[in-house]
Structure 1
Amino acid sequence: MRLVPVIAASALVAACSSGTVGSPVSSPTSSPTSSAPTSSAPTGSPTSTSPKPAPTAAPAAGAGIAAVIAWIEAGTPADPAGFHTMTRDGEATSLGDGVAFTTAGTAANCVTNQYQDGALACLLKLTNPPPRPADAEGEWKGNWVDFPGTTVDVGSVHGDPGPFGNGTGAELPAGRTLAFGDYRCRADAVAGLFCVDYAHQSAVAMNASGVTGFGCLQTVSPPAGIGRRLSC
């Protein structure tokens, strides 16, 4: 008779233990973390690396060199192969690796000067060229511009036509750019001719009103025989 309560008690303990193990456990860590909202932007959203629109207006005096370069590079590239000759009285002269070009109406006649390590030289139609300095000896050329990169000289003495003796190069149309050596130039029908020297991060704008420097170029006192000088 004593075995019945023992067996009944054992069965009761087993039933209670089975119910405890099988019941669900509620815990805040059991919720999936991947379903929580995040603040990150969608993959396809725009970023700051989107290309900037090309500048449409020529840089004004005082513009940064980056803005000048951006405007020059926004032009349509011309093939340099068409600018390696100069023509005078119908006779063409090859410049080899040199480059020569003009702008509309020969407002600017430019050439890489073989006598100055290929530095850019231009003859401009200036409304008011620098006057002849008192210390200038020889034939004065107030519209002659030399731009080797670290300096710009406007007006100088020349006894002969130098690199311009072979005439003029092909016309660089408005809106087109020409790259050669360390330079790139862009012609504009209104603003004139803009040229940058990448090696020195300097640039000039040349038109009938004169020559404007950008980058490191600043007006300084010119040396003997020079009408106006900009220098880095």
Structure 2
Amino acid sequence: MRIALLIAASVLVGGCSAGKTGQSEQSDSALPAPQGTTTSATSRPTSPTTTAALRPPEPGAEIADVIAFIEAGQAADVTRYHTATRDGATTDLGDDVAFTTPSGKANCMTDSQHFGGALACLVDLAIPPLQPPDIYGQWKGNWVDFPGPSIEVGSVHGDPGRFINGTGPELPHGAALSFGDYRCRSDPAGLYCVNYAHQSAARFSEAGVVPFGCLQKVTPPADIGEKYSC
């Protein structure tokens, strides 16, 4: 009888010990994984650009802050911006895009056939560049070319060029449109556009053109009003 009791007590002690061991293993497996073992879009570390994305960049802002602001805009469906309308007639632009800001102060369009998809805008500038001396032809001080490594404001054009097709659909304030190397965001402060290939950007508004990134004001060619270059 005494031997049976001893065997039963030994079994109980062994069972309790095994239970504690299993509980310890379960607790260890529930510990959080070390930082850096997994990555996800939601766990991206915060940075100064998070705050910058909430307000329109001012002159002198870092290119990272300008890009963050543009990318914070609500993505627009680019398929809606492959047409332009003039006098009620709509033209299919193929791979090119066209859009205008809600105020109508900026009418922008790409031209892949003649200019490799470079962006150009007609901006209703309050003070456009004056026509340089000894330059003849139809001067358009509000014509802005933004191929990426440079921005040219004001130039001579004998015809409407790409804008002969009219204007594209409205890009609402807060919306961002991606196309080619570009992304543009419409905002009450102006139209902000970045060219990722050259890490250059600009704000187009009635007040003028504000460059960001590598763009610096340079002496323009004789037939150009103002120029910014990387």
Q: TM (normalized to structure 1)? A: 0.78
Q: Cα deviation per residue 1:117-144 (whole Å; 9 max; x = unaligned)?
A: 1100000111000111003221100000
Distance, in Å, in 2 between the alignment partners of 1:231 and 1:194 is: 17
Which amino acid is the alignment partner of residue 159 of structure 1? G
**Which letter maps to 2:62?**
G
Among candidates 206, 222, 225, match of residue 223 of structure 2: 225
CA distance in structure 2 between the aligned counterparts of 1:209 and 1:161, rounded to whole angstroms: 23
CA distance in 1 between counterparts of 2:116 and 2:128 reads: 26
Cα deviation 1:102-158 (Å, max 9, x = unaligned):
001311000002421110000011100011100322110000000000010000000
Structure 2 equivalent of residue 21 of structure 1: none
Total equivalences in the alignment: 190
Aligned-pair Cα RMSD in Å: 1.8
Matches within 5 A, 1:87-126: 87-113=85-111, 114-126=113-125
Correspondence 1:50 to 2:48 = no
> Secondary structure of the equivalent of 2:165?
coil
1:195-206 matches, cutoff 5 A: 195-206=193-204
Distance 1:135 1:221 in 2: 17
Q: Distance in 2 between matches of 1:133 and 1:83?
A: 35
Give the distance between the partners of 2:45 and 2:33, measured in 1 at CA: 13
Do the aligned partners of 1:108 and 1:124 also contact (CA within 8 Å) in 2? yes
Relative to structure 1, the CA distance from residue 49 to residue 101 in structure 2 (aligned partners, 3 Å threshold; closer, same or farther) is closer
Distance 1:211 1:76 in 2: 23
Matched, 1:130 2:99: no
SS of aligned partner of 2:140: strand
Deviates further, 194-203 or 127-136 = 127-136
- Selected match of 2:66 from 60, 65, 68: 68
- 1:1-232 to structure 2, matched below 5 A, reads 49-52=44-47, 53=50, 55-113=53-111, 114-189=113-188, 191-232=189-230
Distance 1:179 1:130 in 2: 29
Q: 1:154, 1:228 within 8 Å by CA — same for their partners in 2?
A: yes
The one-letter code matched in structure 2 to 1:128 is I
Is the contact made by 1:115 and 1:163 (CA closer than 8 Å) also made in structure 2?
Answer: no
Task: State the AA in 2 paired with 1:228.
Answer: E
Q: What code does the residue aligned with 1:143 have? A: N
Larger radius of gyration: 1
How far has the Cα of 1:214 moved from its partner? Answer: 0.6
8 Å CA contact retained: 1:136, 1:226? no
1:84-114 C-alpha deviation (Å, 9 max, x unpaired): 0001111110010100000013110000024
Which consecutive unaligned segments of at least 5 residues does structure 2 have?
1-30, 37-42
- TM-score, normalized by length of structure 2? 0.79
Where in structure 1 are there 5+ consecutive unaligned residues? 1-41
Amino acid at match of 2:146: F
Secondary structure of the residue aligned to 1:93 is strand
How many Å separate the matches in 1 of 2:186 and 2:97?
15
